[in-house]
Structure 1
Amino acid sequence: MHKPLLSLLAALAFALPAQAQYAPPAPKEAPVQRTHAEPNEQDLQQHGHYRNSKGDDVHSPAASKSGKVPDGASAQCRDGTYSFSRSRRGTCSHHGGVATWL
């Protein structure tokens, strides 16, 4: 090899950063467990439930007998019922859509 080429290769070898040592990935944090207040069934006119996309049992939209916002409600639908949905997607979809997010 030519002397200038060897000098260039040697210079590059020293200019490159040292190889990083392997570090195992940090452990994932446990998912946050959210607690959702359950509505008082005696204050609701409907009593159905459904299983959401995450597999959770959720109270179906229902009207309040007292006219007050039930515990655990996440939105009021346009037909006046209250939704207990745990995500925004599809909330009040069979009740005219969301009138107000709570």
Structure 2
Amino acid sequence: MKSITMAGIKRTWAGVSRGLLVGIFLATAALGVHADDKQASVEVRTQQVQPNEADLQTHKHYLNKDKQEVHSPSKSKSGEVPAGASARCRDGSYSFSTHHRGTCSHHGGVGTWLQ
């Protein structure tokens, strides 16, 4: 789950046309914004596709900064891009990272972003 918080909305949106503000309000309502008198927040939930362990050479995992268990970079046995891979590292392994920072570290860096 990613969370985006906007504080001081009145100050931030000063000078924006009323029609645009109504459009923003309707769009944020559709996204599930929760508002009180001080701040509004938007929660975005993403579903991570899990790789098929049988197609991977290694089976290690780590906890990312969101405390989600993520498969460590691994090479594919079949040579195909594994389900859920977010990047191909320069050493030929595939990363399943959900954040760009640190992706493919210790694997030569990111060669290609897949998502």
Cα deviation per residue 1:58-92 (whole Å; 9 max; x = unaligned)? 00000000000000000000000000000100000
1:52 corresponds to 2:64: yes
The aligned amino acid for 1:34 is T
In structure 2, stretches of 5+ residues that fail to align are 1-35
In 1: Cα distance, 2:107 partner to 2:99 partner: 16
Q: How much does 1:33 deviate? A: 1.0
The aligned amino acid for 1:78 is R
2:41 aligns with: 28
Q: How much does 1:42 deviate? A: 0.4
**Whose radius of gyration is greater, 1 or 2?**
1
Tell me the TM-score normalized by structure 1.
0.73
1:6-45 matches, within 5 Å, as 24-25=37-38, 27-29=40-42, 31-45=43-57
In structure 1, stretches of 5+ residues that fail to align are 1-22
Identity of aligned residues (%): 58
2:85 aligns with: 73
Larger strand share, 1 or 2: 2
1:98 corresponds to 2:110: yes
Tell me the TM-score normalized by structure 2.
0.65
Q: What number of residue pairs does the alignment pair up?
A: 79
Any runs of at least 4 consecutive aligned residues in structure 1 with deviations exceeding 2 A, and if so which? 23-29
